[in-house]
Amino acid sequence: MTWPTGLTRGYIATAVIVQFVSTFAVWMIAEGLHLSGIITMVVFAIAVAREAPDRIPARLRIPSYAVWEVVVFVLNVLAFILVGLQLKPILARLSRAEGSEAVGRAVVEETGRIIDYHNARVYVLEPAGDLVPIAFEGRVGAYEKVDLNLLRTRLGHGFTGWVGQHGEPLLVRDANDDPRGASIPGTDDVDESMLVVPMRYDDAVVGVITLSKLGLDQFDGHDLRLLSILADQAATALESARNLARSHSLAGELRLLLEVSSELAANGCPRMSSSISASW
């Protein structure tokens, strides 16, 4: 397996074009045969790298390598730009969310725009070690409706609990073949793929995002990276919502104390009013 040497010995431009066409053709053949395009391209690249020095002269190899380096750099830049464009509206909604449930709802709804899933769940970690679902989205069959109480779990139990305990993401290609998994009561064991990532804030896990999809090997490393970026932003939004809720609660308590103090002062109890004011 190598480049068509008869066409690449003459001109550098022709050699580079033939290389691009050959690479694209191999990718299309792999997709047509339902093979992994990435693994196929890796095998193809290894085979070409082994035979290229003997089949293609250096005056063609060196310029073509330079062209490929530029192409790889440009594709990486485009990939980052596309990721940014995909995440921008999601991050904007997260920044506007008020309350933990609103953050969770934004995550499950907006994640579906960039990652195809059948089930999405967002958990928050409570001080006692419980992982409590605050948002759920199901799109297929039995996934559409699930009792949130059945989704509650603890650190160390199931994929969600494992991620919450260890703070590391999981890309599960076959949920039934991984010993870290645990079935949800009342559900059947089916072929299922999962993505589970922690929401971390100041190096501490504050929650977990779990995606499921029927079938094996339904998610890839790109999906995992996207969800991890989203989880980091969701963790920040979640903590901001919690801080805002605490601020509102404190403001309410202060208003109540002020009203009580004013009422006491109006009723001729200045000393009691002064004691309450001093306790602020």
pLDDT at position 66 is 77
Q: Does domain 108-244 fall into CATH 3.30.450.40?
A: yes
pLDDT above 80 (res 184) = no
Instruction: Say how many residues make up the chain.
Output: 280
**Token pair for residue 227?**
């969800």
Quote the mean pLDDT of the chain. 77
| CA separation for the pair 160, 22 (Å, rounded) | 43
First to last CA, the chain: 79
Find, among 20, 167, 146, 203, the residue nearest to 28 by Cα.
Answer: 20
pLDDT tens track for 195-215: 999 999 888 899 999 999 999
Quick check: helix, strand or coil at residue 208?
strand
pLDDT above 50 (res 105) = yes
Quick check: helix, strand or coil at residue 136?
strand
pLDDT tens track for 46-74: 887 777 666 667 667 677 777 778 887 78
* Inter-residue contact 115 to 212 (CB < 8 Å): no
Find, among 153, 145, 207, the residue nearest to 182 by Cα.
Answer: 153
pLDDT tens track for 114-138: 888 999 999 999 988 999 998 888 8
* Inter-residue contact 244 to 98 (CB < 8 Å): yes
| CA separation for the pair 146, 119 (Å, rounded) | 10
pLDDT at position 6 is 46
Burial 107-141 (b: 16+ CB within 10 A, else e): bbebbeebbebbbbbbbbbeeeeebbbbbbbbeee
pLDDT above 70 (res 263) = no
